[in-house]
């Protein structure tokens, strides 16, 4: 009886220890994902697009639209947010971002390019946008997706479907894309009105005559 009791007690202790170890493992995994992994300060994993391409981790890429129930009008701009991490031994650079012409006219990168040192992140995660879609081809609302291509100097180019999020809930405090600069219409050239011209004619002095 004593042995059986001791066996049950030992088994119970093992179960309790195993449970504690499982909880500790989960806690450690959570800490690693939240503090040491390249997803630090990025948005929740379910929000944006993710991929790993030639040693470059692209995480939580999303486009910010208008608040729920509305859309950004055609011709306006939209913010693009993304987290990058260069897992390679050499430095790289995000040289540009493009979308189909059916989505926007262009995508501007603040500073022209984004440096990616070796084993280092680049936080383009807001709240102010570093990437902006300019001259939207059509109204843009949350709940849709856009094909976005990221161009890297060494890793190459990769295209992935990026979700469009409404500017609501956790995104409500994020900065919208800057408004396009107003264009000043160029005045039409005017045709000068012809003016009458006068041609000077030489005059002759009267010649004196002698008789």
Quick: pLDDT tens for 137-158. Answer: 999 999 999 999 999 999 999 9
**CA–CA distances in Å: residue 40 to residues 73, 85, 124, 154, 178:** 33, 10, 12, 24, 26
Q: What is the pLDDT of residue 39?
A: 36
**CA–CA distances in Å: residue 93 to residues 81, 118, 136:** 17, 10, 26
**Which residues are CB-contacts of 77 (< 8 A; sequence separation ≥ 6)?**
132, 133, 134, 135, 136, 177, 178, 179, 180
Q: What is the pLDDT of residue 40?
A: 36
Looking up tokens 């022209």 gives 112
**pTM here?**
0.65
DSSP 11: H
Task: Say yes or no to pLDDT of 106 above 70.
Answer: yes
pLDDT category, 116, cuts 50, 70, 90? very high
Q: What is the pLDDT of residue 174?
A: 87
Residues above pLDDT 90, as percent of the chain: 55
Q: What is the pLDDT of residue 71?
A: 95
Containing 19, the helix (H) or strand (E) segment is: helix 2-31
CA distance 77 to 107: 9
By three-state DSSP, how is residue 124 classified?
strand
Burial 50-71 (b: 16+ CB within 10 A, else e): beeeebbbbbbbbbbbbeeeeb
CA distance 138 to 72: 8
């Amino acid at each position: 009886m004593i042995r059986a009791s001791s066996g049950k007690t030992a088994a119970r202790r093992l179960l309790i220890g195993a449970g504690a170890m499982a909880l500790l493992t989960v806690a450690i995994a959570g800490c690693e994902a939240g503090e040491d992994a390249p997803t630090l300060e990025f948005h929740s994993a379910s929000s944006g697009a993710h991929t790993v391409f030639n040693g470059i981790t692209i995480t939580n890429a999303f486009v910010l639209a208008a608040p729920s129930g509305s859309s950004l009008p055609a011709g306006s701009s939209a913010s693009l947010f993304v987290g990058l991490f260069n897992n390679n031994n050499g430095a790289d650079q995000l040289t540009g971002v493009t979308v189909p012409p059916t989505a926007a006219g262009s995508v501007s990168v603040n500073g022209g390019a984004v440096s990616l040192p070796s084993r280092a992140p680049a936080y383009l995660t807001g709240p102010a946008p570093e990437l902006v879609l300019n001259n939207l081809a059509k109204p843009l609302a949350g709940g849709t997706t856009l094909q976005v291509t990221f161009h890297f100097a060494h890793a190459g180019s990769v295209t992935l479907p990026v979700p469009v999020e409404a500017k609501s809930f956790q995104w409500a405090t994020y900065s919208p894309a800057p408004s396009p600069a107003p264009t000043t219409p160029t005045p039409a050239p005017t045709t000068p009105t012809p003016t009458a011209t006068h041609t000077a004619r030489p005059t002759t002095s009267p010649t004196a005559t002698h008789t």
